[in-house]
Each structure stands twice: as C-alpha cells, then as structure tokens.
Structure 1
Amino acid sequence: MSTPAASSAFDARPLIEPADRATVRAYVRDLRASGRAPAPNIASRAVFAVLAVVAVLFVFGSTVIGVVGGMMTASGGGFSPFLIAPILVVVGVVAVLATALVRMFGARTGERWWRLDRFARANAMTWYPSVSNPPLPGMVFGIGHGRIASDVVRGERPRFVEFGNYVYRTGSGKNESTHRWGYVAVKLSTPLPNIVLDAVGNNRLFGSNLPAALEGSQRLSLEGDFDRFFTLYCPSGYEADALYLFTPDIMARFVDHAAALDVEIVDDWLFLYTPREASTLDPATWAWLFSVVAALLDKLAQWERWRDERLAAPATGAAVPARDAAGSAALPFAAPAASLGPPPGVAPEGRRLRRRVPWAAIIVIGAALLLMLFGPLGVFASIIENLSN
C-alpha cells in the first residue's frame, strides 16, 4: 500500500462533507473485495433482527392480541379469515422494521469507514478497519481476551504515530466485562524508563481509571501545580531521570494540552489513553489530538538524548594509556574524538513499574457481595424472630 502524500494543513472536511449513498456502497464493496475489511457478520445481523422482532412484539403484541380477541368475540368465537389480517400486518411491520434497522446499521458502518479512510488520506496517513491483538507494549494492550483495535489511523513517516479505539474483555459468561479505550501511540527514537502520568481529572470514585494498579512507593511529586493534574509514577531509583525528562517546560506542555489524557512511556513508545473514542468522526477531537501530539513532540528532543548510566560498561581495572604531548593515545586504533556515553536502552530495573493488588476495590466489591448474599437472610431471620415473639 502506498504512503499518502504529505498534507500541508489539517484537513477535517472528509469527516463532515455530504456522503453519497451509492458512492459509499461501492466503496464498501471494493473494500471488502480487496480484503481490507471483513465480510458482513451474518450471525450478528440475525441477532440484531431477532432483537428487533422481540421489541416490536413487546410493544404491539398485546394490542394485536386484544384486537384478535375482540374480533373473535364479535364473530361468536368462530374462525374468520379477517382474524389473520392483524397478524399479517404485525408480521409485515416486523419484517420491514428489522430489514430497515439492519440496513441502517450497515450503512452507518460503511459511511464511517468511508469518511475515516478519506480523512486519513487527506492528512498523509492510512486507515485500517481493525487490527487484532495489536503488538503494542502499553499497559492496556496485554490484558484480557478478544483484544482488537478498530478504526486505526496510522502515519509512519517521519515518525510512527497511530490513533485507534481499543476493546478487550475480561471474565466470562455473566461476569464478562467489556473495556474500551481510545489511544494514541507514538514511536520514540530511544527506549526510556517506564513512566506513567495518571491524569487526576478522569479518575473514578475509587481512584485511578487505569487497568493496572501501581505501587504507591513509585510515586514522584514534581514542582508547581503538576501534581494537581497528574500523578507521576517512575521506577525506584529513576527519580533523577524522571526529573531530567520532565523539565518545567515539558510539564507545562502536558498540563496545557494533555491534562485529560493518561500517559505512559514504556520502552521506546509514548502512549496517550482516553476512556472515549480517539478515532472518531468528530473534527474537534481530531484537531485536539493532533495538536497534543505536535505540542509534545516539539519538546521531546531532549528525551532522545537521555541515556541510562546503569548500562555503562563497568571498569575493568586495566591501566589507561597516557596521551602523548600531541594529545594522541598510545593505542593501535584511532579513538573517537567525542566522548561516548552508554548505549541507548534501559536497565532491567527501569523497564517496568511494579504493580500492586487493588485491595481497596476488592474489599468494597467483596463487602457488596456479602451484603447481597447475606443481607436478605438477615432480614428474613429478623422477621422470623419478630413473629416468634
């Protein structure tokens, strides 16, 4: 697939300009014929149609029964061909409604694909309908099952940047839960320590909305008002490195542009997470996310100069040859003129944050379950005791 040409300016017109239905249908046919999009899911459409039938019967079923019953009473309880008419009307309405709903659902999906594909091309990027088990190292991508990223908009030059919506499920059966995230993934030029900025503004009742609970001992307080917007976690022993990476000007960029987003730095990736869709048909959301990425990358040049001193080669104890008067070393090779630092990378202790068990949430959920299980028994026992007295 060819890389789209670079765009001179942000172009959101494909998201809002009128769409011709025939053009969209032809686009979807070509998309599926090329293998870029999956074939229609017949099973899901059948389930959707059945639900539509049940809904119509629930709304109009009692009315039909009443009409048929009244007609039977009027005819003396005998059979009449006219009794079939109300039933046929309901069946016809159900069939038309189910077909219309299925077609409308498919048309909306096709139009969404058409718009996002054209939007990506207009902005020098490429759109993908879905990516199963995306191979990304962020904390949300290795949890649960049924992992899939959808409406992925990706640019690969001059720096890899990807926007997408991500879904995974945990549990099974009645206890299965679906988790949805919007994300932005930015490839960095060098690996960095695993650092998390947990946005305070999107936390839930019992604390962070992130899927992983991090040990509190790794929390680092930064200067100014930064702690009002983010809780920063860094590996133990990497506090000085975090202060080097998060200088006041970089902290200001995060506060001004990304205060509504959770941030994770892991390996050579920068992730931005949001509980709502990141790949959307809303031009304002795209303008915001594009500006966030641009504002952050504009200040991250010093991040790519960072090196982990823990990876420096240990001293061997051998004597270092002295330089002669001309400044050259007594070596059988020419040494580099510049002083070399450690190679790019992160020592093992800085690659991942330590996680903890979310005991507070477990205790609250356990107490609620105990109340649900034993509360009614207690009420019943109290009633029996009152009756016996």
Structure 2
Amino acid sequence: MSSSSPKRLAPLDDRSLTEHVARSSVTAHARRLEQELGIRGGVSRVGVGCAMTIAVLLGFPTAVLFGLLSLEHGAGWAIAAAVILLATIALCGWIVIAASRYHRRAPELRYRLGRFAEDNRLEYTPSLGEPAHPGQLFSRGGEREAQDVVRWPDGRLEVGNYRYVTVGYRGTRSVWEWGYATAPLAHPVPALLLDGKRNKGLFDDRIASAFDARTPTRLESPDGGRFELWTWQRDADAARRLVDDQLLSQLGLRSADLEIVDGRVFLFSNRPLSTADPGTWAWIIETMDLIQARAAALGRPTTGEDVTRA
C-alpha cells in the first residue's frame, strides 16, 4: 500500500442525473438490459400479488370476525371491523401505487446512471450477485446482491446499493437494504467500526454485531449526533484521532456508518442511497477525501503488516 498522499477524487459531471430524458430512450434502454442481462424493467408482478394477498388474508377475515362479534357485543366491534376493512383497502391501494411508481422510476434510474458513468468514464453494473467485499455487512444472510453499482476504473471508489435476506422464526423472510461506498485506503489504519445512532428505528438492522469482542466507546458530534466506536484497546488512540469531530459531523449529514477493515474504508447507509441526487455524490466524494486525509495525518509507518485486523 502506497504511503504517498492520495489524490483527491475529481468532481463529477452530474448533468445526466437531472436533465430531461425522453421516455422512449428509457424504454429502449430497459428493453436492452432485459434482453442482454435478464434484468426486468420494474417490480415483479408476483411480488406485488403476494403482498396484496397477504394484506387481504390478514385484513378481511379479521374484519369479518369483528363484524360477527359486533352482533353480540355492540357497536364498538362494528367500528373496529370498519376501520380494519378500510385500512386493508388502503394498504392494497398503497401497494399498487408504490409498485407503479417504482416500475416507472427504476428503469429511468438505470438509464441515468448508465449515462452518468459514461460521461465520467466510470463503470456501471445494474446488478451484481454476491459482491466480494470484506466487512460485517457483506457476510450476512443470503441472496446477497449489489444493485446500481458505479465503479471507478482504477478501483479508487465503488458506490452502490446492497440487499440481503435473512430467515427468522418459522421461515419468516426479512429483506434488508443498505447503501454503501467503499475505497482502498492509501495509508494503514487500524480496523474499526463506527455505528451511528441517528434516524434508526426499532427494527432497523445495525452495522455492529452483537458478537463483536471489541469494547465500544460512545462519541458525540458537535451537532448532537451519537455514535459508538468499536475498536481494539491498543488502537483506541489512533482510531479516535481518525474519527474526529469534523468526520463525525460529516457522517451525520447522511446518517452514515463507517467501517475500516482489510485496508478498505466503507460508508454504510441503512437506507438505499439516492444516487440520482448530485448531492449524494458530492457528499460521498467529500467524505472519502476527508477520511483519506485523516488516514494520512495519522503518520504511521508503512510495514509489512500495514493493516490491523479485528
């Protein structure tokens, strides 16, 4: 790994992300992806049908049951039955509307990202199964897939969205979706994990593992963001110098987690990244440049064991 100062990432031409595109061009691009790569233009009709079936099978029988109970126990049960019936109908309508929006949006996003990559001499991959990355997130669950992956040809940066499936009690399937950006570090840095707490719900997945043997340190950014820093005690001082207040505030702008492992840095968002937004790309580049600068400032000598592993 080179000990020289890393080159800053060049600004991107992002006009293709926002300028008007012809619907015919998007349709032709989606048809070509389906023919060449087998990638469908939008959502699966089977998936939409299954979601609506589940909503109906749960909602309608419950509404009927409550309606029957109202015959003996009064109007309160009738009101509950009506509320459940209306909620079921509304949920089915929302599923149809959401699927329709995604069906239109997904092909357009792929078209825009393809042009964006071409304009900036980058590589765009619509779908990549089993992405070969180290770290905690990329070893979880099954059916692992990276989507809308944009790579720099020299490997200096990769950005995409990532999903995996876990199977829980009685075969219940849960689909987890993350956004990520990763780059090789130009300087050796101890392995660490920085878990942000902002905008995470009760059932959101966490980047930190319950089985991590490292001791977490609670940190807070100047703007009130809360983090947990996981690292080995021997590396605590170096990790804290890397993860300073400026970097904490920068990560807090997009509620991102940070992992450094095997000489690579990963930014993780527990929601898919809005890669059609030029602001997202500006934030990623600024954050990566900041991390590379912090790594260089640590001033650790380059050795044969230039990466401290967890």
Among 248, 251, 262, the residue aligned to 1:258: 251
Residue pair 1:257, 1:292 contacting (<8 A) in 2 also: yes
Aligned to 2:309: 351
Aligned to 1:40: 40
The answer to whether residue 56 in structure 2 is matched with residue 28 in structure 1 is no
Structure 2 CA distance, aligned partners of 1:101 and 1:202? 22
Structure 2 CA distance, aligned partners of 1:290 and 1:186? 10
The structure with more radius of gyration = 1
What 5-or-longer segments of structure 1 have no aligned partner?
Answer: 1-6, 56-99, 308-340, 353-389
Structure 2 CA distance, aligned partners of 1:200 and 1:42? 32
Q: C-alpha displacement at 1:142, in angstroms?
A: 0.1
Aligned to 1:278: 273
Structure 2 CA distance, aligned partners of 1:111 and 1:285? 18
Among 282, 285, 291, the residue aligned to 1:290: 285
Equivalent residues in 2 for 1:136-215 (5 A)?
Answer: 136-157=133-154, 160-171=156-167, 174-189=171-186, 192-205=189-202, 209-210=206-207, 212-213=209-210, 215=212
Q: C-alpha displacement at 1:282, in angstroms?
A: 2.4
Among 262, 278, 281, the residue aligned to 1:267: 262
Letter in 1 for 2:197: V
The answer to whether residue 130 in structure 2 is matched with residue 133 in structure 1 is yes
Structure 1 CA distance, aligned partners of 2:195 and 2:30? 39
Q: C-alpha displacement at 1:239, in angstroms?
A: 2.7
Kindly tell me the number of residue pairs found equivalent between the two proteins.
Answer: 260
Residue pair 1:190, 1:344 contacting (<8 A) in 2 also: no
User: Which deviates further from its counterpart, 217-226 or 267-276?
Assistant: 217-226
Structure 2 CA distance, aligned partners of 1:288 and 1:20? 28
Equivalent position SS for 1:276: coil
Q: 1:167 to 1:103 in 2, by over 3 A?
A: closer
Q: C-alpha displacement at 1:299, in angstroms?
A: 3.3
Q: 1:40 to 1:191 in 2, by over 3 A?
A: same
Structure 1 CA distance, aligned partners of 2:294 and 2:149? 26
Aligned to 1:377: none
Q: C-alpha displacement at 1:206, in angstroms?
A: 9.0
Residue pair 1:182, 1:274 contacting (<8 A) in 2 also: yes
Equivalent position SS for 2:186: strand
Structure 2 CA distance, aligned partners of 1:8 and 1:225? 29
Residue pair 1:153, 1:279 contacting (<8 A) in 2 also: no
Letter in 1 for 2:309: R
Q: 1:230 to 1:124 in 2, by over 3 A?
A: farther
Structure 1 CA distance, aligned partners of 2:152 and 2:226? 29
What 5-or-longer segments of structure 2 have no aligned partner?
Answer: 1-8, 56-96
Structure showing greater relative contact order (alpha-carbon pairs closer than 8 Å, 6 or more residues apart):
2
The answer to whether residue 14 in structure 2 is matched with residue 12 in structure 1 is yes
Equivalent position SS for 2:191: strand
Q: What TM-score comes out, normalization by structure 2 length?
A: 0.68
Q: C-alpha displacement at 1:262, in angstroms?
A: 0.8
Letter in 2 for 1:45: R
Q: CA RMSD in A?
A: 4.0
Equivalent position SS for 1:258: helix
Q: Percent identity?
A: 29
Among 286, 300, 308, the residue aligned to 1:306: 300
Equivalent position SS for 1:345: coil
Structure 2 CA distance, aligned partners of 1:53 and 1:266? 43
Letter in 1 for 2:157: V
Q: After the TM superposition, which segments of 4 or more aligned residues of structure 1 sit over 6 Å from their partners?
A: 49-55, 100-104, 221-224
Q: C-alpha displacement at 1:101, in angstroms?
A: 10
Structure 1 CA distance, aligned partners of 2:173 and 2:53? 26
Equivalent position SS for 1:298: helix
Q: C-alpha displacement at 1:221, in angstroms?
A: 6.2
Equivalent residues in 2 for 1:72-151 (5 A)?
Answer: 106-151=103-148
Q: C-alpha displacement at 1:285, in angstroms?
A: 2.4
User: Which deviates further from its counterpart, 162-171 or 208-217?
Assistant: 208-217
